[in-house]
């Protein structure tokens, strides 16, 4: 009896979803999990191989399977007249024509924004774009050998430590050229992608499903900037939903909401104790009207740090609404001791 097309499509999807985790026992795993005969599973795998969606490696007991990967590499010399929209339309867009419309839009936005940053801010002579795709994901890497994004932010803002540039990048609305840029590109791209990474000068900024992380990066000799974007092929996220999450179409359509991962300030084991730390955390925040302070991985905050944010800053900027997220009980008590009406999110 022939199975309904919907069931067959479900089996195909299960096979595709299982390839990476079960490359050597794919047939047995799928057969057991779905109670489907091994011979039928093999036929479907062979069909996927014929369609060039899956690849087979080895023979007999040494057989393994992997998703078919396609790659492309482009290299550019930075010169007058080089435009990100031309690079997108002529070189990159043809690679993504089979992607879902919302995924294609995210790729276009991320690529054009990041390429524009290279053209306008990197001071590099050349840059490259590397694209890797399979049925599960699209990975785009953009690398230049210019000044380095974190070093440039440090110099433009006069920051004492280069690490502080990570927090400024996470806030958004940072640009060294306000006449021509809004400083929104990195922020919105990091929220639209399933994973977004920047490496430069020994630092790595990683945004994974809307969560900013700070890690040391082994590779301190790399002085330029490497941007990595991963977009899931089955992503349901849309650019419109990302824009709307940080703006108010009814009252203020501009970018007015930001998310501040405070653990980015805890480099070299520092605790958040002083007023000067709080001032650094809240630098440029008066440009927003809604600010989510994320206390994930923050175990301790000092009275001066909390007072500077929830009393001094709040009194000086009554238009800014502060929200606390992912704070432990100790942090919540400290915040409530200064502002009993503080809004606390889980």
Q: In the numeric block, which tokens belong to residue 335?
A: 């915040």
Residue 290 lies in a domain: yes
The count of structural domains within the chain is 3
Domain enclosing residue 167, as ranges: 70-241
Model-level pTM? Answer: 0.80
Q: Let me know whether 86 and 60 are in one domain.
A: no
Q: Let me know whether 52 and 132 are in one domain.
A: no
Q: Which residues contact 8 (CB under 8 A, 6 or more apart)?
A: 44
Q: Let me know whether 231 and 278 are in one domain.
A: no
- The CATH number given to whatever domain includes residue 269 is 3.30.750.24
Nearest to 166 by CA among 180, 187, 181: 187
Q: In the numeric block, which tokens belong to residue 150?
A: 């974190």
Q: Which of 206, 241, 276 represents a domain boundary (last residue)?
A: 241
Residue 108 lies in a domain: yes
Alpha helices in 247-340 (DSSP H): 275-281, 303-307, 314-316, 329-338
- The CATH number given to whatever domain includes residue 109 is 3.30.565.10
Q: Which letter, b or e, does each residue of 11-23 get, where b requires 16 or more Cβ atoms within 10 Å of its Cβ?
A: bbebbbebbeebe
pLDDT for res 221 = 63
Q: Let me know whether 197 and 290 are in one domain.
A: no
Residue 46 lies in a domain: yes
Q: Let me know whether 59 and 145 are in one domain.
A: no
Helix axes 164-171, 185-192, angle to 10 degrees: 80
Q: Let me know whether 144 and 265 are in one domain.
A: no
pLDDT for res 253 = 46
Q: Let me know whether 198 and 298 are in one domain.
A: no
Per-residue pLDDT of the chain (346 residues; tens, 9 = 90+): 567 778 888 888 898 888 888 989 998 998 999 888 889 989 998 999 888 888 898 887 888 989 989 999 999 999 878 999 999 999 999 999 999 999 999 999 999 999 999 998 888 999 999 999 999 999 999 999 999 998 888 888 888 888 888 888 888 776 665 555 566 888 889 989 999 999 998 888 888 875 555 555 554 567 899 999 999 999 999 999 988 887 765 555 466 888 888 988 887 678 899 999 999 999 989 988 899 999 988 999 999 999 999 999 999 999 999 999 999 999 999 999 999 888 888 7
Residue 251 lies in a domain: no
Q: Let me know whether 102 and 199 are in one domain.
A: yes
Q: Let me know whether 62 and 78 are in one domain.
A: no
Q: CA-to-CA distance for 70 and 276, rounded, in angstroms?
A: 49
Residue 141 lies in a domain: yes
């Amino acid at each position: 009896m022939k199975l309904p097309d919907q069931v067959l499509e479900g089996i195909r999807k299960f096979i595709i979803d299982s390839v990476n985790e079960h490359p050597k026992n794919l047939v047995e795993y799928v057969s057991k999990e779905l109670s489907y005969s091994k011979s039928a599973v093999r036929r479907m795998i062979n069909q996927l191989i014929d369609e060039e969606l899956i690849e087979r490696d080895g023979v007999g007991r040494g057989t393994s399977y992997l998703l078919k990967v396609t790659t492309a590499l482009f290299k550019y010399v930075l010169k007058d007249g080089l435009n990100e929209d031309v690079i997108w339309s002529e070189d990159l867009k043809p690679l993504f024509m089979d992607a879902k419309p919302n995924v294609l839009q995210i790729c276009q936005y991320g690529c054009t924004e990041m390429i524009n940053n290279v053209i306008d801010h990197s001071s590099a002579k050349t840059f490259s774009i590397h694209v890797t795709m399979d049925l599960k994901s699209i990975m785009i890497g953009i690398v230049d050998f210019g000044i380095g994004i974190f070093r440039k932010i440090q110099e433009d803002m006069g920051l004492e430590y280069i690490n502080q540039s990570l927090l400024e990048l996470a806030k958004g609305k940072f640009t060294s050229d306000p006449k021509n840029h809004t400083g929104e590109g990195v922020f919105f791209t990091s929220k639209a992608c399933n994973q977004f990474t920047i490496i430069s000068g020994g630092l790595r900024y990683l945004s994974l499903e809307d969560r900013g992380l700070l890690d040391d990066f082994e590779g301190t000799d790399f002085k330029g900037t490497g941007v990595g974007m991963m977009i899931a092929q089955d992503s349901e996220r849309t650019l419109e939903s990302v824009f709307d999450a940080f703006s108010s179409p009814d009252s203020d359509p501009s970018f007015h909401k930001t998310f501040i991962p405070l653990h980015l300030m805890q480099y070299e084991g520092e605790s958040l104790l002083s007023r000067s730390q709080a001032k650094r955390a809240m630098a440029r925040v008066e440009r927003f009207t809604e600010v989510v302070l994320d206390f994930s991985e923050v175990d301790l905050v000092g009275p001066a740090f909390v007072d500077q944010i929830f009393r001094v800053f709040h009194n000086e900027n009554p238009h800014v609404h502060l929200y606390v997220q992912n704070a432990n009980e100790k942090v919540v008590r400290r915040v409530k001791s200064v502002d009993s009406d503080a809004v606390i999110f889980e």
